[in-house]
Amino acid sequence: MSNDLSAPAQTSTGLVASIPESRIAGGRLRDDFRGISVVWRRELIRFSRNRVRIITALVQPVLFLFVLGTGLSPVLKGGPHGFDFKTFLFPGILGMTVLFTAMFSAVSIVWDREFGFMREMLVAPVRRSALVVGKCAGGATVATLQGAIIILLAGLVGVPYAPVLILTLLGEMALTAFGVTALGVLIAARMSQVESFQFVMQLLVLPMFFLSGAVFPLANLPQWLAVLTRLDPLSYAIAPMRTAVFEHLKVAPSLLKTLEPAITWDGWRVPLGLELGLIAAAAIVLLFAAVAQFSRPE
């Protein structure tokens, strides 16, 4: 700690005297945690204050779940099992909610830059990594909360409100949300204008969503589509959630074969731990990449 530059003269009656110079220091671990926490808190405040955003963000999942789900139900009901397609869809819609909310939250960095607030953060004596971690934690929390609102609808689509199931889903959503936010922050670091967000949605977020198995089973697909779905990281986030839901339902084994909640690699069933491990590893790699992007000198 450097005290070379002595605090204001004792004669000073000004406001400066109220904070001794030596205590304004940053750069310690404690200061980094404070930096992380404040960026996180800001995300939560902005989320909770923007009711319109919370409600509009509910429209899309509800449409998918109840309109698409109900519309496609007769197709499945036509079979011998009488399984509600909405129940199948439910974990996919949780994944979708998390994907879109987390991505939106991360890309708000571009807005921050546009409206100047980014500069307030960048000139502060806080490590850039603390800012990025705080942002990712904030985005993850917000997306998980939005997903939690969808969980409230579980009963309407035949998914039980089992505490273990809810906790499992929340945990898996949080992990996914963290990874998606890190990806979004990494992209936003390179994005100079708000308009580019459209490209990200069309070229990245929508393909990720459609290839993830959120809206259709990943079993019995043609080769080309099967490969693409296995390359989509979001597939490995949706599968554990669907597995968790199916474990709490009584599903006929023959139906499980068609609806196949878990992912297979050339017939080999990918274990749950590996699925979650892949998501966690991707989240960490993306986080480090995002930190590296933000630490570049201007």
Partner 1 sequence: MTSDTAMPNAEPGSSKASLDHHAPNTTWTRAEATSTGAAVEVIDLHKRYGELDAVKGINLSVAPGETFGFLGPNGAGKSTTIKILCTLVAPTSGLAQVAGYDVVKSRNEVRRRIGLVFQDTTLDDYLTAEENLRFHADLYGVPRKAVKSRLQEVMEMVGLWERRKSEVKTFSGGMKRRLEIGRGLLHAPRVLFLDEPTVGLDPQTRSHIWNYIHELRKREDITIFLTTHYMDEAENCDRIAIIDNGQIVAVDTPEALKASIGKDRVEIQTDSNSDTVNALKSHFGLDATESEGVVAFHVSGGEQFVPRLFSELSLPIRSIRVARPTLDDVFMNYTGRTIRDAESSISERMATNPWMRARSRR
Which listed residue (29, 52, 59, 123) binds partner 1 by CB under 8 A? Answer: 123
Bridge partners of 265?
Answer: 268
Beta carbon nearer to partner 1, 16 or 206: 16
In the complex with partner 1, which residue's Cβ is closer, 5 or 231? Answer: 5
Region binding partner 1 by CB under 8 A among candidate stretches 112-120, 150-158, 169-177, 223-231: 112-120
For partner 1, what does the binding mask look like between residues 44 and 83, x meaning CB under 8 A? -xx--xx---------------------------------
Answer yes or no whether residue 194 interacts with partner 1 by CB under 8 A: no
Question: Quick check: 193 binds partner 1 (CB under 8 A)?
Answer: no
**How far apart are the C-alpha atoms of 171 and 240, rounded to whole Å?**
11
Please provide the DSSP assignment of 24-90 as one string: S---SHHHHHHHHHHHHHHHHHHHHH-HHHHHHHHHHHHIIIIIIHHHHHHHHHTSSS---HHHHHH
Would you say 45 or 152 has its CB closer to partner 1? Answer: 45
Q: Which is nearer to partner 1, 12 or 254 (CB)?
A: 12
CB–CB of 212/175 below 8 Å? no
146 in Cβ contact with 57 (< 8 Å): yes
Choosing from 2, 198, 220, 223, the residue that interacts with partner 1 (CB under 8 A) is 2
Count CB neighbours of 267 within 10 A.
5
Examine residue 298 and tell whether it contacts partner 1 (CB under 8 A): yes
16 binds partner 1 (CB under 8 A): yes
Closest separation in Å from C-beta 123 to partner 1: 6
Helices (H), 115-234: 117-122, 128-151, 163-190, 196-200, 206-211, 223-231
Give the Cα separation of 97 and 123 in Å (integer). 34
What is the residue type of 143?
A: A
Instruction: Check binding of 29 to partner 1 (CB under 8 A).
Output: no
| Tokens 């273990």 sit on residue | 164
Is residue 295 close enough to count as binding partner 1 by CB under 8 A? no
Q: Which residues bind partner 1 (CB under 8 A)?
A: 2, 4-5, 8-9, 12, 14-19, 21, 23-27, 31, 34-35, 37-38, 42, 45-46, 49-50, 115-126, 297-298
